[in-house]
Amino acid sequence: MNVLATTCAACSTDAQAIAYRWHTYRGAWHPAYDHPHFFEWLQAWLHMMEQQPTAGARQHIIQRVEPTGGPQVPLVVKQFADQPGWKDRIDRSRGSKAQRAFHAARHLQRHEVGTPFPAGYVEQWQGSRLRHSYYFTQAVPDPTNLHDALVHIYRHHPDGTLLMDLLQMVAREVRRMHDSGFQHRDMGNQNILLRRTAAGWQDVQFIDLNRGRIRPAITLRQRAFDCSRLALPTDFLRVFKSMYFGNEPVLACFDRWEQHYRRRYAWHTATRAWRHPIRHRRDKQATDPQATYPAPRDIWIWDEKSAQALVIWRSRERHRYYSFRNIGYVAGAVSRTLLPTIHHYRQLRATTYSAPVDFTGRIGVALSPTPERWPQEQHHLQGLGKIPVMVRYYHHQGEQEWSFTNDCIKALVKQGHAVSIALVQDRRAVQQPERWTSFVQGVMAEIGNMVEWVEVGHAVNRVKWGLWNIDEYIQLLSPLAAIKDRFSARLLGPAIIDFEFHYLTAFLQRCAVFPGLFDALSLHLYVDRRGAPENTQAGFATLEKCILARAIAAQAKACAPRLIISEVNWPVAGAGEYSPIGAPYVTSEQQRHDAGVAEDTYAHYMLRYLLITIASGLADRVYWWRLAAHGFGLVDDLPENAWRPRPAYKQLQLFLQLCGTAHFIEKLRTPGCVVAYAFQRSDGEKIVVAHAHPEPTPFEPPFTSSHVTDATDHDQPFTAPFMLTAAPVYFRDCRF
pLDDT mean values, one per 10 residues, the chain (736 residues)? 35 66 91 91 91 68 90 92 81 88 96 96 89 93 94 96 95 97 97 87 94 96 98 96 91 96 90 75 72 94 96 92 90 95 96 97 97 96 98 97 97 98 98 97 97 98 96 97 96 96 96 96 88 93 97 95 97 93 82 88 98 98 97 93 94 98 97 96 97 96 95 94 96 96
- CATH 3.30.70 for the 324-448+457-485+498-513+521-555+565-661 domain, yes or no: no
**pTM score, whole prediction:** 0.92
Residue type (1 letter), 82: D
Report how far residue 577's alpha carbon sits from residue 585's, in angstroms, rounded to the nearest whole number.
5
Q: In what order do the strands lie in the sheet with 61-65?
A: 2-4, 18-22, 25-29, 118-126, 129-138, 75-79, 61-65
Question: What pLDDT is recorded for position 262?
Answer: 96
Cα distances from 532 to residues 523, 569, 591, in angstroms, run: 18, 11, 22
**Residue 514 · residue 477 · CB < 8 Å:** yes
H or E element that contains 178? helix 160-179
Report how far residue 179's alpha carbon sits from residue 730's, in angstroms, rounded to the nearest whole number.
61
Question: What pLDDT is recorded for position 513?
Answer: 96
Report how far residue 533's alpha carbon sits from residue 289's, in angstroms, rounded to the nearest whole number.
48
Question: What pLDDT is recorded for position 209?
Answer: 97
**Residue 495 · residue 568 · CB < 8 Å:** no
Report how far residue 394's alpha carbon sits from residue 374's, in angstroms, rounded to the nearest whole number.
16
**Residue 566 · residue 524 · CB < 8 Å:** yes
24 exposure class (CB count in 10 Å sphere: 0-12, 13-18, 19+): exposed
Burial readout 537-574 (b: 16 or more C-beta within 10 A, e: otherwise): eeeebbbbbbbbbbbbbbbbebbebbbbbbbbbbbbbe
In sign, the C-alpha dihedral spanning 199, 292, 585, 173 is positive
Residue type (1 letter), 686: K
Q: In what order do the strands lie in the sheet with 192-197?
A: 143-145, 192-197, 200-206
Question: What pLDDT is recorded for position 12?
Answer: 37
**Residue 181 · residue 215 · CB < 8 Å:** yes
Report how far residue 421's alpha carbon sits from residue 566's, in angstroms, rounded to the nearest whole number.
10
- Please report, for the chain, the start and end positions of each structural domain, with discontinuous segments joined by +: 2-138, 144-205+213-293, 324-448+457-485+498-513+521-555+565-661, 665-732
Cα of 47 vs its chain's centroid, Å: 54
